[in-house]
Protein backbone atom coordinates (compact mmCIF):
# COMPACT_ATOMS: atom_id res chain seq x y z
CA UNK A 1 0.00 0.00 0.00
CA UNK A 2 2.78 2.42 0.85
CA UNK A 3 4.50 1.79 -2.47
CA UNK A 4 1.41 2.77 -4.47
CA UNK A 5 0.36 5.44 -1.96
CA UNK A 6 -2.97 3.76 -1.21
CA UNK A 7 -4.84 4.84 1.89
CA UNK A 8 -6.74 1.57 2.19
CA UNK A 9 -6.25 -2.00 1.06
CA UNK A 10 -8.01 -5.31 0.73
CA UNK A 11 -6.14 -8.55 1.31
CA UNK A 12 -8.03 -11.65 0.15
CA UNK A 13 -6.83 -15.15 0.97
CA UNK A 14 -8.86 -18.09 -0.30
CA UNK A 15 -7.09 -20.36 2.20
CA UNK A 16 -7.47 -18.11 5.24
CA UNK A 17 -4.79 -16.38 7.28
CA UNK A 18 -2.09 -17.48 9.70
CA UNK A 19 -2.59 -16.56 13.35
CA UNK A 20 0.09 -13.85 13.07
CA UNK A 21 -1.96 -12.10 10.37
CA UNK A 22 -5.16 -12.58 12.37
CA UNK A 23 -3.53 -10.65 15.24
CA UNK A 24 -2.97 -7.68 12.91
CA UNK A 25 -6.60 -7.64 11.81
CA UNK A 26 -7.78 -5.53 14.76
CA UNK A 27 -4.94 -3.02 14.63
CA UNK A 28 -5.11 -2.61 10.85
CA UNK A 29 -8.92 -2.36 10.64
CA UNK A 30 -8.96 1.20 9.27
CA UNK A 31 -6.16 0.54 6.77
CA UNK A 32 -6.59 -3.00 5.51
CA UNK A 33 -9.54 -5.36 5.28
CA UNK A 34 -8.78 -9.07 5.46
CA UNK A 35 -11.23 -11.29 3.61
CA UNK A 36 -11.27 -15.07 3.54
CA UNK A 37 -13.22 -17.05 0.94
CA UNK A 38 -16.50 -16.75 2.87
CA UNK A 39 -16.15 -12.97 3.15
CA UNK A 40 -15.42 -12.69 -0.56
CA UNK A 41 -18.39 -14.82 -1.61
CA UNK A 42 -20.72 -13.07 0.86
CA UNK A 43 -19.73 -9.63 -0.42
CA UNK A 44 -20.02 -10.72 -4.03
CA UNK A 45 -23.51 -12.13 -3.54
CA UNK A 46 -24.60 -9.08 -1.55
CA UNK A 47 -23.51 -6.60 -4.21
CA UNK A 48 -23.82 -8.66 -7.41
CA UNK A 49 -26.94 -6.84 -8.63
CA UNK A 50 -25.12 -3.50 -8.29
CA UNK A 51 -22.11 -4.54 -10.38
CA UNK A 52 -21.52 -3.16 -13.84
CA UNK A 53 -23.13 -5.27 -16.57
CA UNK A 54 -19.73 -6.04 -18.10
CA UNK A 55 -18.50 -7.52 -14.80
CA UNK A 56 -21.67 -9.58 -14.43
CA UNK A 57 -21.13 -10.88 -17.98
CA UNK A 58 -17.64 -12.01 -17.00
CA UNK A 59 -18.94 -13.62 -13.82
CA UNK A 60 -22.41 -14.91 -14.70
CA UNK A 61 -24.46 -15.99 -11.69
CA UNK A 62 -28.04 -17.15 -11.61
CA UNK A 63 -30.36 -16.97 -8.63
CA UNK A 64 -31.81 -20.36 -7.69
CA UNK A 65 -34.71 -20.86 -5.30
CA UNK A 66 -34.73 -24.04 -3.21
CA UNK A 67 -37.43 -25.14 -0.76
CA UNK A 68 -36.32 -25.02 2.85
CA UNK A 69 -35.80 -28.36 4.60
CA UNK A 70 -38.33 -27.18 7.21
CA UNK A 71 -41.02 -27.04 4.51
CA UNK A 72 -40.26 -30.57 3.38
CA UNK A 73 -40.25 -32.24 6.84
CA UNK A 74 -44.04 -32.70 7.19
Q: What is the pLDDT of residue 23?
A: 81
Q: What is the pLDDT of residue 17?
A: 86
pLDDT tens string for the chain (74 positions)? 888 888 899 989 998 888 888 787 878 878 889 899 999 999 999 999 999 999 999 999 998 888 887 776 65
Q: What is the pLDDT of residue 56?
A: 95
Ordered by start, the domain boundaries in the chain are: 9-60
| Burial class of residue 59 (count of CB atoms within 10 Å of its CB; 0-12, 13-18, 19+) | exposed
Query: Is the separation of the CB atoms in 42 and 65 below 8 Å?
Result: no
Q: What is the pLDDT of residue 25?
A: 80
Q: What is the pLDDT of residue 72?
A: 67
Amino acid sequence: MARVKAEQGLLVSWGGFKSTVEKDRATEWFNVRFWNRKDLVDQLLESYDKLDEELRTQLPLERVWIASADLLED
